[in-house]
Amino acid sequence: MKRRNFIKTASVSSLVCALPPFIPQFNTSEYTVEELMGKAEVDLFGEGINLRKEAYESFLEMKEAAHADGIDIKIVSSFRDFYRQEGIWERKYQKYTEEGMAPLDAIDKIIEYSTIPGTSRHHWGTDMDIIDGRPKSSGDVLVPEKFENDGPYASLKQWMDENSKEYGFYLVYTSDPRRRGFKYEPWHYSYAPLSIPMLTAYRKLNILKLLQKEDILGSEHFTTGFIKTYIQDNILDINPALL
């Protein structure tokens, strides 16, 4: 069933995401709306790394440990602000619609892997897309097949499966067949000690109201029902360890 075919009559107030029942160890009041939506200036660390300080320091420890085991963890993408995500979204929207796709079909295609600007975890400085810098590989690097079987990044994936949690990093979009939303991304990891409280703060926002203020290509098709389903499937149906 297409995401847009879900019930479109949910009230706007219902789009304030439900909070988890009890998360006593986190203080979420320090995060502003602009920060959570990728519109604030964020202190980032590391040339080519671009993570918040705590995530950066833990990443360096993990990278050193992996290097000792013959793995060269290389970040392909980490922090992306709202405007960069908007550029990614609009290029894809233009491409698909110019190829003849109906706008709603183009949006469905985009959200297989890409987020609506203002809803990306990459806005937080806690998430990263990684590969192994040692093996040779041609073409697109962020494709699932390259992280499996005899793919060039299979050893990286195995190492991360065994070790990443020790450094606070968790896979976001798992291969669980019951999971909805974004497709499996074996390259996307999140630093849980920071991203969990940020997601908790994000869940308090009225996403529809915030997106209605933005002039994003295709946003006239962001119905109440679509955004409600997008929140449930794409923002919240992730690795349970990150909720």
Exposed/middle/buried for 242, CB within 10 Å: 0-12, 13-18, 19+?
Answer: buried
pLDDT at 175: 97
**Partners of 191 in beta bridges:** 169
Nearest to 214 by CA among 45, 19, 39, 3: 39
Q: How far apart are CA 79 and CA 44, in angstroms?
A: 8
pTM for the model stands at 0.88
pLDDT at 2: 37
Chain-centroid distance of CA 60 in Å reads 21
Q: Per-residue confidence of the chain (243 residues) as pLDDT tens digits?
A: 433 333 233 334 344 454 343 333 444 458 999 999 999 999 999 999 999 999 999 999 999 999 999 999 999 999 999 999 999 999 999 999 999 999 999 999 999 999 999 999 999 999 999 999 999 999 999 999 999 999 999 999 999 999 999 999 999 999 999 999 999 999 999 999 999 999 999 999 999 999 999 999 999 999 999 999 999 999 999 999 999
User: Going by CATH, does the domain composed of 54-242 fall within 3.40.50.2000?
Assistant: no
pLDDT at 29: 59
**Partners of 130 in beta bridges:** 75
Non-local (6+) Cβ contacts of 53 within 8 A are: 43, 45
Radius of gyration for the alpha carbons in the chain, expressed in angstroms and rounded? 18
Q: In the chain, where are the structural domains located?
A: 54-242
1-38: pLDDT as tens digits: 433 333 233 334 344 454 343 333 444 458 999 999 99
Q: How far apart are CA 237 and CA 243, in angstroms?
A: 9
pLDDT at 30: 86
pLDDT at 217: 97
